[in-house]
Amino acid sequence: MLDAIDKSLLKTVADLESLPKGAYNIRKNGKLLSRQVSANINIESNAEGTGIIITIKPGTKNESVHIPVILSQAGLYDVVYNSFIIGDDAEVTIVAGCGIHCGSSEPEGHAGVHDFQVGKGAKVTYVEKHYASGDGKGRRTLNPTTKVFLAEGAHAEMELTQISGVDEANRLNEAVLGPDSLLLITERVLTDGEQTAVSTNNIVLKGAGSRANMISRSVMKGNSKQTFYATMDAQNKCFGHIECDAIIMDNGTNETMPSLKAGHPDAELTHEASIGKIASDQLTKLMSLGLTYDQAVNRIIQGFLK
Amino acid sequence: MLELKNVYFTVQEREENSGGLRNIIDGINFTFEDGKFYAITGPNGSGKTTLAKLIMGVNPVSQGAIIFKGQDISAWTITERAKAGIAYSFQQPARFKGITFRDLLTVATGIEDENKLLEILSRVGICPLSFLDKEVDAKLSGGEIKKIELAITIAANPKLAIYDEPDTGIDLWTIGPMVSLLKKELAENHTTTIVVSHNRAFLEAADVVMIINSGKVVYSGNLEGALPLLDDLSVCTYRDSCEGDRDAGCYR
């Protein structure tokens, strides 16, 4: 079933030491490895056989579903389409994530296309980690897409993390917010070497009283490059905020383009963006507490990407 | 315990201001004695903060030597000085993203245990429990971050604690407890304490008041002896706008 590499990947992307309790679906090298449903959470393959449909019953409380993907097959580019249908007033945590182990010179990649229909008053927490490992020189690519539709009063909190080892990432996040709904996105991306990562975010604040907060934290080491686009499109009385911070280390580069569109007189939109090296006063403070320069840098980055 | 031997800090003036060399700290000789409370005061721009930073190693001395407990630490890094027992409360404390007060306390003390951290909090008194998991970021008020900065400095159990204007942004009724706290730390842990301040409360608490002007020590001794000089210096360029008819209680 799970070999040592699988276990290590699962631990990293889904914090799983073994098979999880509750509902789960583990996909390995493009195929279903293991699945379990629960009384309130159903998982089934979609009609085309290209992914899964996860249905959470209305009113479900405090349940979680794990849907990790692991790849260790040289030359494979795995594309999966997953749909999440979250019933009214349900509260659920979804842990996704993709771990790639590349042991050869052939490329490996994964594109997870996830759409979420979040019912009235439902609350979903979505945690996604991306990670690649292995000694192989093959290029590791991860191109995730998430599309979120929030019904009236729905809450979605999304934590999107790319930890390390991913050569190329091209992410697309789209969201449409209904009345009084709330969307919180926190994206953390660390790149190194010659890696590149692009994140494109289009958030439409459609319903009255909708609120969205998009936080992006980027660290570029080596010669890596990250590009961040975020658009908040306010079509009603609403509140939207974009906060994007990038820390440059070594010769990393960054382009950040927050964009605010107010299509309604009562829209309130704000953004703050910063790009730069680690602030020297932060380094000095931590060194004055006894850390060395390198330890201080690590501690600051660790907190920044926490 | 800390000896400044003919210490200079020299900078290059900007081109438009002659481009020559200027001594921000201009040959200071002074010995700080073990377990005493020092208040450094003087006009704005006189070199107080610069001197404090030279002791911590934030800036290197241009000339002269700093001797700490018998060792010449002039070339030591900030980290080495911290490990030797010097701690510094910055006038404008750094703000982080994703680092909490708890994290900084743990870095300063090596303690992760919740109960021991709570003990430290009750010892420093100034910080309510709710501070512990607050991020030390731009959302904190000026007063909150100064209290956190002070608490971290005390928690590090330094042999020499330097506080640069610890009262900035602190509400007036907290200054008294802050002075008492520093005096208690000195009494119980024998912490040699240096406070850079204009505040009467710190000057009154100090064993020795040191007045710096133009990078030189122009007075050191008790407050009584300092008063005529402080009045005489007419050192404050802000007096009209700051105090007006009201006495703000500072000796600027």
Q: What is the three-state SS of A101-157?
A: ECCCCCCEEEEEEEEEEECCCCEEEEEEEEEEECCCCCCEEECCEEEEEECCCCEEE
CB hemisphere CA count around A81 (13 angstroms) = 5
Mutate to test the interface with B, among A244, A277, A280, A288 (most CBs of B within 10 A): A288
CB A278 within 8 A of CB A297: yes
Test B79 with A299 for CB contact under 8 angstroms: no
B107 and A CB contact within 8 Å: yes
Residue in chain A closest to B88 (alpha carbons) equals: A288
Q: Looking at residue A1, what is its pLDDT?
A: 62
Mutate to test the interface with A, among B96, B109, B134, B150 (most CBs of A within 10 A): B96
**Mind listing the domains of chain B with CATH numbers?**
2-242 (3.40.50.300)
Test B97 with A303 for CB contact under 8 angstroms: yes
Contacts of B58 in chain A (CB under 8 A): 284, 288
**Cα of A281 to nearest chain B Cα, Å:** 5
pTM for the full model? 0.84
Alpha helices, H only, B129-199: 142-155, 172-189
A289 and B CB contact within 8 Å: yes
* pLDDT reading at A81 higher than 50: yes
Q: Looking at residue B246, what is its pLDDT?
A: 56
Torsions phi, psi of A171, nearest 5?
A: -105, 145
What is the distance between the alpha carbons of residues A264 and A232, in angstroms, rounded to a whole number? 12
Test A279 with B94 for CB contact under 8 angstroms: yes
CA dihedral B143, B145, B149, B150 (to 10 degrees): 20
Give pLDDT tens digits for A218-271: 999 999 999 999 999 999 999 999 999 999 999 999 999 999 999 999 999 999
Q: Looking at residue B242, what is its pLDDT?
A: 55
B104 and A CB contact within 8 Å: yes
**Residue with more model confidence, A162 or B14:** A162
Contacts of A284 in chain B (CB under 8 A): 58, 78, 90, 94
Please enumerate in sequence order all residues whose Cβ is within 8 A of that of A176, keeping only pairs 6 or more positions apart, or say none. A148, A149, A150, A204, A206
CB B104 within 8 A of CB B156: no
Token match 């604040």: residue?
Answer: A205
CB B198 within 8 A of CB B8: no
Residue B217 CA to its chain's centroid (Å) = 17
Give pLDDT tens digits for B62-117: 999 999 999 999 999 999 999 999 999 999 999 999 999 999 999 999 888 888 88
Test B79 with A290 for CB contact under 8 angstroms: yes
Q: Looking at residue A141, what is its pLDDT?
A: 87
What is the distance between the alpha carbons of residues A201 and A174, in angstroms, rounded to a whole number? 6
Question: Which residue of B56, B79, B98 is in closest CB contact with A291?
Answer: B79
A284 and B CB contact within 8 Å: yes
Contacts of A217 in chain B (CB under 8 A): 97-98
What is the distance between the alpha carbons of residues B115 and B125, in angstroms, rounded to a whole number? 15
Question: Which residue of B88, B98, B99 is in closest CB contact with A288?
Answer: B88
Residue ranges of B 41-60 with Cβ closer than 8 A to chain A = 56, 58
The pLDDT confidence band at residue A272, using thresholds 50, 70 and 90, is very high
Contacts of B82 in chain A (CB under 8 A): 287-290
Test A285 with B98 for CB contact under 8 angstroms: no
The encoded tokens of residue B238 equal 């802000």
* pLDDT reading at A216 higher than 80: yes
**Average pLDDT score over chain A:** 90
Test A289 with B93 for CB contact under 8 angstroms: no
B205 and A CB contact within 8 Å: no
Residue in chain A closest to B96 (alpha carbons) equals: A282
Least confident stretch, A15-24, A151-160, B29-38: A15-24
**Cα of B76 to nearest chain A Cα, Å:** 12
The pLDDT confidence band at residue A13, using thresholds 50, 70 and 90, is confident
What is the distance between the alpha carbons of residues A76 and A132, in angstroms, rounded to a whole number? 14
Question: Which residue of B83, B92, B107 is in closest CB contact with A286?
Answer: B107
pLDDT, averaged in runs of 10, over chain B (252 residues) = 94 79 92 95 89 96 95 96 96 93 92 86 77 88 88 93 90 84 91 92 93 91 86 57 55 48
Q: Looking at residue B175, what is its pLDDT?
A: 86
Question: Which residue of A288, A299, A303 is in closest CB contact with B82?
Answer: A288
Question: Which residue of B82, B93, B96 is in closest CB contact with A290?
Answer: B82
Test A303 with B103 for CB contact under 8 angstroms: yes
* pLDDT reading at A149 higher than 70: yes
Test A303 with B87 for CB contact under 8 angstroms: no
Residue ranges of A 235-254 with Cβ closer than 8 A to chain B = 245
Determine the number of helices (DSSP H) and then strands (DSSP E) in chain B: 9, 10
Least confident stretch, A38-42, A91-95, A162-166, A300-304: A162-166
**Residue with more model confidence, A295 or B171:** A295
Least confident stretch, A14-28, A59-73, A95-109, B227-241: B227-241
**Cα of A230 to nearest chain B Cα, Å:** 20
Q: Looking at residue A57, what is its pLDDT?
A: 95
Contacts of A305 in chain B (CB under 8 A): 98
Test A306 with B108 for CB contact under 8 angstroms: no
Residue B167 CA to its chain's centroid (Å) = 10
Test B152 with A289 for CB contact under 8 angstroms: yes
* pLDDT reading at A20 higher than 70: no
Q: Looking at residue A100, what is its pLDDT?
A: 80
Residue in chain A closest to B98 (alpha carbons) equals: A303
Contacts of B96 in chain A (CB under 8 A): 282, 300, 303-304
* pLDDT reading at A38 higher than 50: yes
Q: Looking at residue B206, what is its pLDDT?
A: 93
